[in-house]
């Protein structure tokens, strides 16, 4: 950033970030904003970390749903058809004739 003229430097996202950070500090406010990314490696690293976090949350949610449904099915003891009671063969959806006990 050293190569830029002074006006663009002070209008940059980095300068705006540090102004907000200093203003929060001067006003004794909490400042939780992440600093601007410095380069493409930082951006990629942040994206990977966010994807891992989202994947972990999704996995936990899917396990909860699976456990809930499994419990409901075990409690009911009802016969359950395949997914939505239909199967797909050769691009044509057909009714499932056989019932399965889960």
For residue range 61-94, what is the model confidence (pLDDT) as tens digits?
988 988 888 887 777 665 555 555 555 455 555 5
pLDDT, residue 18, reads 93
Percent of the chain with pLDDT over 90: 29
pLDDT at 69: 84
pLDDT, one tens digit per residue, over 16-64 is 999 999 999 999 999 999 888 888 888 889 899 999 999 999 999 988 9
* H or E segment to which residue 45 belongs: helix 40-76
The domain locations on the chain are 1-34, 37-73
How far, in Å, CA of 64 to CA of 55, rounded? 14
């Amino acid at each position: 950033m050293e190569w830029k003229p002074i006006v663009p430097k002070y209008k940059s996202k980095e300068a705006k970030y540090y102004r907000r950070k200093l203003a929060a500090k001067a006003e004794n406010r909490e400042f939780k904003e992440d600093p601007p990314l410095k380069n493409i490696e930082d951006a990629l690293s942040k994206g990977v970390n966010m994807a891992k976090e989202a994947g972990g949350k999704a996995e936990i949610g899917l396990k909860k749903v699976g456990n809930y449904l499994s419990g409901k099915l075990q409690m009911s003891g009802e016969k359950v058809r395949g997914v939505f009671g239909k199967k797909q063969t050769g691009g044509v959806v057909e009714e499932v004739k056989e019932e399965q006990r889960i």
